[in-house]
Structure 1
Amino acid sequence: MYFKTFWGRDQHLIWGNLFFPRPLQKIQEAAAPIGINFSWEFSKDEGLHARHIVTDTGWKILLDRGLDIFQRYEMSDAFSFSNRLQEYRPCKAFEVTYLQ
């Protein structure tokens, strides 16, 4: 997965997996009412396995776990804070590298 993000209302994703377009469509539908233009494309590079974000200001953020940083939590408990608020979810160990 590769994000090219512009810190504003336009978000573009280059996706390496051709088998999951539905979640991307759901993100696009959810983002539109709040003014975020979310778009994506599928990479033609069969070997793409990048886990990084590139900003329009020249920063590259490398995520060694990708976006899979949270430990398992109870998703079916409507009253669990970790179910609704990310700041209450325990994280797995991971590294983030910032490059400019």
Structure 2
Amino acid sequence: MEFVVGGIVVALAVWAFISHQGKKADEALDHAFYSAMREAKATLGEDELVLLGEQALKLEAETKAQVTSGAMSRQRADRMLKQALIRSAHASIEVRRMFNSPSRA
């Protein structure tokens, strides 16, 4: 009986640890996402922001289709969407900086 109780306690401790780590990872991703979007808004021009928004809508539609078909969980789709938008925003910002650098003048 002690082994059963001990096993349950260990299983709960492992589950709590994994849940906590997952929550921390989600919070870090949220922070990175909002930081990237703020930087994009501050750095990019209106046309570039429109293109980024269109790309976001396209990616959102693709992930929704995968969630609807059961190919992906909503949580995983949200993570993938945020990661893709972070990469896209950073790429757009780098292109903008590259074309605005003094060495191009």
Between Structure 1 and Structure 2, the one with more helix by share is 2
TM-score with structure 2 length normalisation? 0.21
Between Structure 1 and Structure 2, the one with more strand by share is 1
TM-score with structure 1 length normalisation? 0.22
